[in-house]
Structure 1
Amino acid sequence: MTESYAGKINRKLLKKRRIINAAAGREPADLVLKNAAYVNVFSNEICHGDIAVAEGLIVGMGEYSGAEEVDCGGKIVLPGFLDAHIHLESALVSPTEFVKAVLPHGTTTVITDPHEIANVMGTDGIEYMLQATEDLPVDVRFMLPSCVPATPLDESGAILDYRSLDSFYEHPRVQGLAEMMNFVGIIAGDDQPVEKIVAAQAHHKKIDGHAPDLVGNDLNAYIAAGVYSDHECHDLNDAIAKLQRGQFIMIREGTAARNLDALAPLLCDKYAERCMFCSDDKHPSDLLEKGHIDYLVKRAIALGADPITAVKVACHNAARYFLLNNRGAIAPGYLADFVIIDDFQHFNIEKVYKKGVLMVENGVIRDFPTPPIEQYLVDRAHNTFHLPTLTASDFEEARPRGIIGMVGGEITTVDAGYSDRIDVEYDVLKIAVVERHKNTHHIGIGFLQGYGLKSGAVATSVSHDSHNIIVVGTNEADMAEAANRVAALGGGIVVWDKGAPLAEVPLSIAGIMSEEPLVVVNEKLEGAKECAFSLGVSREIDPFMTLSFMALPVIPTLRITTRGVFDVTQQTYV
């Protein structure tokens, strides 16, 4: 039976009275952290006292008794951490597996942009992720993808205009519009990106930015349009210029891009209030070996940041920015999301509480259910490859094509001239992008230098942001077989040589996420990397992540699209 409105009010009234009575000390709290030293993000100091919890909320600090009492003497209690910008899909696992990875590191809230899966499945992808994250012990909040596809040059599985997104703003976990990568379109006043900003503002939502190295009046125009933040600052001057114009700066330290060292000077009294931490993209090995937002806090402290400032940037600042006014602090009325550490020097996380429930103790996570997902969406996510069987002739091209020159350790590239053939001796390999969403049989062909492959082929369906199949090889036959194997798996990563797969990482959810545990995915991924290295791929690069960014035509200089090699700077095909 559906609860009546009066019934809801009465239930909430009883809950509120319970909170008030526990706060006043008239009733015992549900949980009390006794003798706690805790970070006060309002007075910027370490305070001491008992922390009382009732109904999942902090009800007071002082002297309390409770049904459960936990001695926190000698420990430090922090608010739960918040990742201000991440693509959950980048972890290559389901949201449930992602939560199992980050909760032990003290993350209790993340703001995700589901543009990876939306580029494959459109609005069904957004709905899939909303259902897959419902009631998880990490609060997953959403920013709606603003650029599907990332540019008009991409062939994605969908095209989302502002009308496609509009109904999602009513969802209680949607905070706004995600990174507006099309800053060129905003500055030019193009209809579609500006419509999305106007629609988000009509719903009184936040709008995040993505504008690396934008300066002068172009930067002014971008911010004036209504873009409130930026996570693409890799240079201190760039960050300060944006901060001076009112933007909030998301200091990013992920797998693909690491900017904390360069931006650490922002973590001072002058600038820190306008900063928050984010990871953007986190691959399995990074989550397992380094951690999540806790890694940024530890690193910031090691770089000289005041520990309390680092903690505030890791939780409170992002909570205020996203108007999540009941988290990011230890104070009455805030969610009882706690991280208990030994000290700031070692920063070992001993316990993590979510809404007053102990979820992690000494790295061991309490079991929790996987959210149910509508069967239609499950079926849809497992049927995203629509393309013919490929042959060597599909990758043959007699005309000269542009050579994408890789830059060591970077995802930027240079124009390395032209070639009409593969030349393994000079590290000139063939690269192609195969459209896989709508059976168009569009295949863009070019050449790649700097990858190092000496034999076989490497293919992956993790190909930002449209997630078509990208393949690089020393011969066309192996390229075709590797790409066919990716499609047969329903998505994934394949290292192919001498007529057989040397390694495979199946990613059957939309071709970008695995259904297996994070540890298993990481083992397969690391094994596949070693196979790629054994075929000559340079150990100075990540064989798959580097390849995945070669198809994103918003990063200078040359990229590969389904229509061929494109010069991002000149906005022309080469």
Structure 2
Amino acid sequence: MEDLDLDKQINELISVACGEKKADLVIKNGKILNVFTKELMSGDIAIFDGYIAGIGSYDGEEVIDAEGKIICPGLIDAHIHIESTMLSPEEFAKAVIPHGTTAVVTDPHEIANVAGEDGLAYMITCSKNLPLDVFYMLPSCVPSTPLDEAGATLGAVELDKFYKCERILGLAELMDSYATIRNDPAIISKIESALTHKRIVDGHAPGLTGRDLNAYVAAGVASDHECSTFEEALEKLTLGQWIMIREGTAARNLQALLPLFDDKYTDRCMLVTDDIHPETLCDSGHIDFIIKEAVKAGKSPYNAVKMASYNAASYFGMRDRGAIAPGYIADLIIVSDLAKFEVEKVFKSGILVAENGALTVEIPHVSCDDEKYGRVLHSFNLKELTPEDFSLKEKGANKRVIKLLPGELLTEELIVPSNLDNKEAEFKHFVKAPGVETDKDIIKVALIERHKDTGHIGIGFLNGYGLQYGAIASSVAHDSHNLIVAGTNDADMALAANVVRDIEGGIAIAADGKVLSVLPLPIGGLMTNTKIDDVNAMLTNMKVQARKLGVSEGIDPFMTLSFAALPVIPRLRILTKGVVDVVTQSIVPVLFD
């Protein structure tokens, strides 16, 4: 029956293309951006049953006049973690569709690290039937490295069963490049599984170069989204990798990678956001914002749009989207002009789904069955914490500090005198823990295992965050999403951490023994069904409070902190077992002689 329906659809599409049958919808008088020739062309766009039948002169049951406007293919985010938006799939869709996004390729490794296969099943189920195509890459590193403690472990056997879903496009960012180039059997089996299923393998290898990079590419890794310099991107591009140009909330690489928008490189590049917060979506936009910024910097809008649509579709093997041409899915956007790139109308499969920044269709709420997804909704298994849990037991003359870098995910190692002889001292009416030197921007950071109640708590020091008083705790701590807390004193750290524990996930700010604000994230400790405007309002208020407590302007108080726990990006990170040197993949002492 399905074959008969397909034959009928093709026959009717041909009839519309030939002019023998009226189109469902015709868009007239606009200029069409052709991603194949990178020029504007004239002609009516005839749409039938969700597909483009032809471009030329057509009649339709409905006609839309696009006089003076530009018509572009719908935009595709080639690499994003929906969980990082803190929004459920349906609320995420509501947020990005008005910006012209008609498809995303997401790696659900955040929820997978919390709830394993249940987390994957939740995301796949809750993103069905949206006016946004949500494709998936299967998480390659759950946990991200053997040193990390996640809520689940996903090997090749667990992942293999998911390839039967047509929305699974491949194996997501292979973050453990260290293990990959050393022929780790668990990693290699995942790559082999993806390639056997004729799927693609995404990469994640910041700073990898030379023979190690050759080995990584030879393993079958086809792309990278971690390039922070043009030189790094060029080396990877030269070896055949596709480059994903990232402009998110904490990691912003667009300016450094602008040369990739030139004709010489553009055919192998895509646009991605990776990790993006509600504030960025509300204030700046999504992929449309990256296009605007590139054009503003003097780059070709034709190249930018192609990178944001056709290139992504080509890379992932989606032959029926990413362009305005006969036989392609009618995912279209109408923009004011190529310079301002203001999205005025969005069509998904030929249906108007957004106009002037607002949805024109209803997105039904997808209920999350507590019994079926209990592991997703009840993800905390952790005893109540005390200030004593945050005391550092090590001794030594020198203190190893994790140094944050504004606008980057990379960190550096900072060595200073230990200064741990001081007892807790009053600072105004706040207290500083031993080793904390707020005048030098050095505070305490801890990561508490929260999935299996192991009692493991890693403790270290953080520089570049700016906090002067109190503590900030979050269950969003990439990628295993244990409970991270940064603070100037142990009492406030325990208070903020316990608040997050009690609400089973979220963000909390505490100072001087008082809870200042809380954002609940009940879905895996990562997401909420709350509307984006409400989430953004709460986050904005919390960021104001974080700034008042001293957090630096160049630092995102929550996203930057969350990445302090990611043990696959150099140089130092905090884990539940202590501070890890990412380059050597070893736990290093915080205090040493």
What interval of TM-score do these two structures reach, taking the shorter chain for normalisation?
over 0.9
Task: For 2:403, give the aligned amino acid.
Answer: G
Matched, 1:463 2:477: yes
- In structure 1, the partner of 2:553 is 539
Matches within 5 A, 1:80-91: 80-91=74-85
- In structure 1, the partner of 2:588 is 573
- In structure 2, the partner of 1:560 is 574
Matches within 5 A, 1:393-542: 393-400=388-395, 402-411=400-409, 412-417=411-416, 418=418, 420=420, 421-426=434-439, 427-542=441-556
Q: Aligned partners of 2:3, 2:338: CA distance in 1, in Å? A: 43
State the identity %.
51
Indicate if the aligned counterparts of 1:91 and 1:282 stay in contact, CA closer than 8 A.
Answer: yes
Moved more, 339-348 or 417-426: 417-426
Q: Aligned partners of 1:29, 1:191: CA distance in 2, in Å? A: 54
Task: For 1:496, give the aligned amino acid.
Answer: A
Match of 1:17, SS? helix
TM-score by length of 1: 0.96
Indicate if the aligned counterparts of 1:136 and 1:371 stay in contact, CA closer than 8 A.
Answer: no
Q: Aligned partners of 1:451, 1:345: CA distance in 2, in Å? A: 36
Equivalent in 217, 226, 230 of residue 220 of structure 2: 226
Indicate if the aligned counterparts of 2:446 and 2:459 stay in contact, CA closer than 8 A.
Answer: yes
How much does 1:419 deviate?
Answer: 5.0
Change (3 A) 1:15 1:375: farther
| Deviations 1:69-102, CA, capped at 9 Å, x for gaps | 0111111100101111000111011111111111
Task: For 1:466, give the aligned amino acid.
Answer: S
Q: Aligned partners of 2:363, 2:466: CA distance in 1, in Å? A: 44
Q: Aligned partners of 1:371, 1:47: CA distance in 2, in Å? A: 41
Q: Aligned partners of 2:442, 2:233: CA distance in 1, in Å? A: 37
Indicate if the aligned counterparts of 1:415 and 1:558 stay in contact, CA closer than 8 A.
Answer: no
Q: Aligned partners of 2:352, 2:219: CA distance in 1, in Å? A: 44
Moved more, 558-567 or 94-103: 558-567
Q: Aligned partners of 2:39, 2:119: CA distance in 1, in Å? A: 43
Equivalent in 296, 305, 314 of residue 302 of structure 1: 296
Indicate if the aligned counterparts of 1:419 and 1:447 stay in contact, CA closer than 8 A.
Answer: no
Q: Which runs of 5+ in 1 are unaligned?
A: 1-6
Q: Aligned partners of 2:50, 2:408: CA distance in 1, in Å? A: 45
Q: Aligned partners of 2:359, 2:482: CA distance in 1, in Å? A: 36
Indicate if the aligned counterparts of 2:250 and 2:556 stay in contact, CA closer than 8 A.
Answer: no
Q: Which runs of 5+ in 2 are unaligned?
A: 421-433
Indicate if the aligned counterparts of 1:137 and 1:354 stay in contact, CA closer than 8 A.
Answer: yes
Equivalent in 355, 374, 377 of residue 379 of structure 1: 374
Indicate if the aligned counterparts of 2:578 and 2:587 stay in contact, CA closer than 8 A.
Answer: no
- In structure 1, the partner of 2:321 is 327
Indicate if the aligned counterparts of 1:162 and 1:199 stay in contact, CA closer than 8 A.
Answer: yes
Q: Aligned partners of 2:54, 2:540: CA distance in 1, in Å? A: 47
Matched, 1:76 2:74: no
Indicate if the aligned counterparts of 2:473 and 2:493 stay in contact, CA closer than 8 A.
Answer: yes
- In structure 2, the partner of 1:172 is 166
Equivalent in 38, 51, 74 of residue 44 of structure 1: 38
Task: For 2:208, give the aligned amino acid.
Answer: L
Moved more, 354-363 or 304-313: 304-313
Q: Aligned partners of 1:414, 1:108: CA distance in 2, in Å? A: 41
Change (3 A) 1:13 1:233: same
How much does 1:572 deviate?
Answer: 3.6
Change (3 A) 1:419 1:325: farther
- In structure 2, the partner of 1:316 is 310
Change (3 A) 1:405 1:235: closer
Equivalent in 125, 148, 154 of residue 154 of structure 1: 148
RMSD over aligned Cα atoms? 1.5
Equivalent in 14, 25, 37 of residue 20 of structure 1: 14
Change (3 A) 1:549 1:328: same
- In structure 1, the partner of 2:277 is 283
Aligned residue pairs: how many?
568
Match of 1:122, SS? helix
Change (3 A) 1:398 1:294: same
Indicate if the aligned counterparts of 2:145 and 2:567 stay in contact, CA closer than 8 A.
Answer: yes
Matched, 1:391 2:390: no
Q: Aligned partners of 2:384, 2:414: CA distance in 1, in Å? A: 32
| Deviations 1:121-166, CA, capped at 9 Å, x for gaps | 0111111100111111110000001011111111000111111100
Indicate if the aligned counterparts of 2:245 and 2:269 stay in contact, CA closer than 8 A.
Answer: yes
Match of 1:448, SS? strand
Match of 2:31, SS? strand
How much does 1:103 deviate?
Answer: 0.6
